[in-house]
Chain A
Amino acid sequence: MLILECPYCGVKAEETELSPGGEAHLKRFGPGSTGEEFEAYMFARKNPKGVHFERWRHAYGCGKWFLAARCTATLEVFGTYSAQTTEPPAEIVEKIKAKRPDWKGTK
C-alpha cells in the first residue's frame, strides 16, 4: 500500500487515490518508425528489479499525472516529480546514486 506525494498538489496520497500508468519517459514512435522502434515504445519495458521510473495519476485528487522513482524490490520511493519532463531530475538521480551505488543509471 504505497504512499506517493503528488508533486502538483502536495498531498501524500495513498495508493487507492492513485492510478498506476507504467514505465515513464517512453518516447512515442508514430508513423514512419521501424517495427523495432514501435515495439520498444509499446511493449519492450525495462521492468527492472530495482530502480524504476514510472507514471502515476493522482486520479482521486488533482487529476494530474506525475512521475515517481521507486525501487521495485523494496518499494522504497526516491522521489516524485513533474510529468512534463523527458528525464528524471538531477537531484533525484543523485539521491538514487547515493542510496543504490550499484545502480546502472537510466539507460
Chain B
Amino acid sequence: MSKVASALGGARFDGFASVREIGPLGMITLRAKPDVPGLAAAVTAVTGTALPAQRRIEVAGDKAAGWMSPDEYLLIVPYTEVKAALATLAEKLAGQHHLAVDVSDARAVFRIEGAQAAEVLMKLAPVDHATLTPGELRRTRVAQVAGAFWADETGYSLVCFRSVASYVMGLLSHSATKGAELF
C-alpha cells in the first residue's frame, strides 16, 4: 500500500451525474508577474503549455497551467513529478522575484461527469455557465467554501482545499442525487 493517500481515498457517487474524488495531483502555486523574463519558458518547461492568459487553463495531456490571479498560476503535473518541476522552475526563474511552492497535498480534486454534470455545479456556485468559454478556469464559491473548476469534453474538474474535501463530496453528492435534475 502506498503511503500517499488522497483526501477521500477515491470516493465516488453515482447520481444523475457521477462524482469522483481523484488525485492526488501534483500541483504548484507559482506566484510571479507575467512580465517576469523567462516566465513563459519556465511554465512551458514544466507543463508543456503556453503561459495561460487571464482566467484560462492550458492543458497538455496530464499537465496543465491555469491562471489564478494577475500574479499567480496553478501548475498541474503528475504527483511524482512535482519535485523535478520545482527544480526546473527554480533554475529557469533564478534571480527573478517569484514564489513556487508545492500544494499538491493541500488540495482535493473531483471529477463531475455525465450529460447533466453542469447542473451539479449550478446548485453550488454562483456562476453563469453560459458566459464560460471552453478552457476557462473559474475560481468561485462552492456553497460555503472556495473552489475552482474547469470543463473539458467529458465533464468538469473541481479543486478545493483538502480539509473540506468531505464537505464538498457531500455537496456534490446531494446535488447529483437522482430525481434532482434541474432541467
A and B in contact, CB less than 8 Å: yes
Residues A63 and B141 in contact in the complex (CB < 8 Å), given A9-B54, A14-B126, A16-B126: no
CA distance A64 to B141 in the complex (A): 15
CA distance A59 to B168 in the complex (A): 18
A62 at the interface (CB under 8 A from B): yes
CA distance A63 to B72 in the complex (A): 10
CB-CB contacts of A49-84 with B at 8 A, as 1s and 0s?
000000000011111100000000000000000000
Interface residues in A, total, Cβ within 8 A: 13
- Which of A8, A11, A60 interacts with B70 by CB under 8 Å? A8
Interface residues of B in 50-73 (CB under 8 A from A): 54-55, 68-70, 72
CA distance A9 to B55 in the complex (A): 7
Interface residue ranges, B against A (CB under 8 Å): 54-55, 68-70, 72, 126, 138-141, 146
Interface residue ranges, A against B (CB under 8 Å): 8-11, 14, 16-17, 59-64
Selected A-B contacts with CB under 8 Å, 15 pairs: A8-B70, A9-B54, A9-B69, A9-B70, A9-B139, A10-B55, A11-B55, A11-B138, A16-B126, A16-B141, A17-B141, A60-B140, A61-B140, A62-B72, A62-B139
